[in-house]
Amino acid sequence: MRIPLLFLLILISTSAFSQQKESDIWSGSYSVHPNNDAVVQDTLVISRSKDLKPEDVPSKLEADLARWTVESKRDSKKGDILVRRFLQNDEDDEYKEFGWTALHKAGKMNCIDGGHFFICNTDPNSTVELKGDKPFKTESGIFGIWLHYGLVTLKKL
């Protein structure tokens, strides 16, 4: 009787670990390139951070307390930036502004917000529509838009 119980506990813990690992699509190092250019503009390191507590965020953001930090190797003196996933629920849909709600619901578009920039993850070699701008092709499937730099391509290292 103990062997099956032990086996079941191992299976559950392995499954929980693998689900936790799979749900973090952001952590890692990325080279940053002007849109699909070979020149490396920066290197970013994204790391899973401690979840925030509901009392530490505006009520709107209580729906998702998971956070990551983004460190720029080029701007290392500025420190890490805390980022959060785009909201998408009945009350708030941050994908709607870009016309990406259906893509997100289908699991084909996920974005994180850093205030003056955001980074999105979609299928490699996708053409992404931006409202008011011409579509662009993202070879890596990971792209970002910075307030002062514009569109960039990220490649996971």
Residue 18 or residue 52, greater confidence: 52
Burial (Cβ within 10 Å: 0-12, 13-18, ≥19) of residue 47: middle
Task: Give tens-digit pLDDT for 15-28.
Answer: 344 334 447 999 99
Provide the terminal-to-terminal Cα distance of the chain, rounded to the nearest Å: 46
Q: Which alpha helices (DSSP H) does 56-130 contain, by range?
A: 101-105
Burial (Cβ within 10 Å: 0-12, 13-18, ≥19) of residue 68: buried
Does this model's pTM top 0.75? My answer is yes
Task: Give tens-digit pLDDT for 69-127.
Answer: 999 998 877 789 999 999 998 889 999 999 999 999 999 999 999 999 999 999 999 99
